[in-house]
Structure 1
Amino acid sequence: MVPGIEVNQNIVFSFDVEEHYRIEAAANCSTKEETRQLYADRMVRSTRTLLDLLAEQNRKATFFVVGQIAESHPNLIREIVSGGHELASHSYAHTSIRRLEAKSFREDLRKSKQALEQVGGCSVVGFRAPTFSVIRPTNWALDVLAEEGFLYDSSIYPVHHDRYGVPEAPREPFLAKGPKEKILELPPVTWRKFGQNLPVAGGGYFRLFPLAFMRRGIAQTLAQTPSLAMLYFHPWEFDSQQPKLALGRISRWRTYVGIKKSIPRLRKLLNRYPGRRAIDVVNDLLQSSASLKQFQI
């Protein structure tokens, strides 16, 4: 065993795979076709870098992938699956649920699931909304997910944020209740400090905060019952040489802060934590679902 390694295996390394131009901060930016192709090529390269890092440490992860990527880059999907990783949905076109209605979300979800399953040759039962956009005004999305046969969601971040979050939601796995249905929810890691939930699971927080913040959030979360530490990252966060998007000052800082440190930081985490695929944790949780807390979104 590696010195200092955590023995609790309910830690999930997850990766939200989308081209960089699709991020929410760039929703109002226009990008030319050649620029989109450039970012697509870099997305493939960065994702393969992550697959290599995971293979070096013999770690398995969950990849939430935009469905259109299965159509444009099927070999990348096959590489993810052949590496023993879980393939999950990150929507079809990376459109925030806040800009959709139930009907259009259902269509997007079905297209994503079909595209990923056809190429990956495996069942897709997990979902993460773009920009964690399952919030109280979009709680109807939980009904759609359950009705479409998904086993779990990982879109509800129990924090305050200007773009997302349900701060009152549980920090541990729970059954998220929509208007009619419920589904197992795997919230990203938070660190309860100063009377609030600090977001430390990944993304800009991973790049900005000291790595000790994430470790404290992981330790605190794993002390709960049921325990699960859900971490998340994006392939573009590991590409410091990519052309920068034309973002506003605050969005630009949020997007690119600390990006040069991402690879060594991830390597430290992979050295320390064994990790599991989300679906493996889900299978364990569903066997004892009667003990899961229910929470109305």
Structure 2
Amino acid sequence: MEDSGPISNALSVDVEDYFQVSAFAGHIDRADWDRLPHRVERNTDRILQLFADHGARATFFVLGWVADRYPDLVRRLADNGHEVASHGYGHIRVDEQSPEEFRADVQRAKALLEDTSGQAVRGYRAASFSIGRDSTWAFDVLREEGHRYSSSVNPIRHDLYGMPEAPRFAHAPAGGDLIEVPVSTVEAGGRNLPCGGGGFFRLLPYAYFRWGLRRINRREGRPAVFYFHPWEIDPEQPRQRGVALRTRFRHYVNLHRTEPRLRRLLDDFRWERMDRIFLEEEQA
């Protein structure tokens, strides 16, 4: 690891399978999920080994649907010292649910993950960062259901999600005691530019992310928040036919580059679980 200073950054994984991404929601019927080839367990186990090789700890935002089918995987995450957090149960966007539907989904996922992992589930990440300016009511639901933090806002402009006016760093929405921890961005020219992972990590040069994370650590003195998905290290995953060109590009671009880049990222920076960085910081 190069000298990146004393700051540990928050590493996170959204545990879902390739066919569950929101971009495929209009193309793959939920009723077909169990009939499709599942690759999430093997891919997540590869990530566990990758993290072990680098001595990294992370937060895994696990989809309840996945935990129902692969409970031993959830237990392996916990047994290896990682945080098990919630990605909801059915990977439904917050802005496509009523408050009552959202609460039921949150309750179901939290109870399942706690029973399976033996850990208290304190963190939540919405499908596709779908807490936006018209769905901030979700923060109250998460707090009432016992979550301590959310990582559900991406403070950028994007056609599928984003709340660019939101704070770039951890904050308490509406003055409550729930913390929102956005994925990382860098500010340039009056705009927030993404540098927290996801598809951008596959699309843009690695040097850009190293520059952005260093800037957050060194110039702003803050921990960065980075995320990716198990399917992003799987270039052999089944290809979906009939999807729009933009969707196909976003999902499949540079999948073969993700794992080598992750190895560089793990070497270049210090990484830790989200709860240990943000909740312990709040308690200090």
Q: TM-score range by the shorter chain?
A: over 0.9
Q: How many residues were matched structurally?
A: 283
Deviates more, 1:166-175 or 1:221-230: 221-230
| Residue aligning to 1:294 | none
Change (3 A) 1:39 1:132: farther
Contact persistence 2:89–2:108 (CA under 8 A): yes
Question: Secondary structure of 1:78's partner?
Answer: helix
Contact persistence 1:97–1:133 (CA under 8 A): yes
Alpha-carbon shift at residue 245 of structure 1 (Å): 2.0
| Residue aligning to 1:259 | 255
Alpha-carbon shift at residue 182 of structure 1 (Å): 5.0
Contact persistence 1:63–1:87 (CA under 8 A): yes
* 2:240 paired with 1:245: yes
1:112-261 aligned within 5 A: 112-177=109-174, 181-223=176-218, 227-246=222-241, 247-261=243-257
Structure 1, unpaired ranges of 5+: 289-297
| Residue aligning to 2:281 | 285
The Cα offsets for residues 184-226 of structure 1, whole Å up to 9 and x where unpaired, read as: 1111111222321111211110000011221222122224667
* 2:16 paired with 1:18: yes
1:269-280 aligned within 5 A: 269-280=265-276
Question: Secondary structure of 1:51's partner?
Answer: helix
Question: Secondary structure of 1:138's partner?
Answer: coil
Q: In 2, Cα distance between the equivalents of 1:164 and 1:232?
A: 16
| Residue aligning to 1:102 | 99
Change (3 A) 1:12 1:37: farther
Q: In 1, Cα distance between the equivalents of 2:96 and 2:257?
A: 33
Change (3 A) 1:39 1:279: farther
Question: Secondary structure of 1:213's partner?
Answer: helix
Change (3 A) 1:223 1:271: closer
State the identity %: 37
Letter in 2 for 1:7: G
Q: In 2, Cα distance between the equivalents of 1:34 and 1:106?
A: 25
Structure 2, unpaired ranges of 5+: none
Change (3 A) 1:32 1:134: closer
Question: Secondary structure of 2:14's partner?
Answer: strand
Q: In 2, Cα distance between the equivalents of 1:134 and 1:51?
A: 28
The Cα offsets for residues 27-49 of structure 1, whole Å up to 9 and x where unpaired, read as: 11135877645442x11111000
Change (3 A) 1:223 1:166: farther
Q: 1:49 aligns with which of 46, 50, 53?
A: 46
Contact persistence 1:142–1:182 (CA under 8 A): no
CA RMSD, Structure 1 to Structure 2 (Å): 1.8
Letter in 1 for 2:115: Q
| Residue aligning to 2:83 | 86
Q: In 2, Cα distance between the equivalents of 1:200 and 1:165?
A: 14
Q: In 1, Cα distance between the equivalents of 2:11 and 2:36?
A: 26
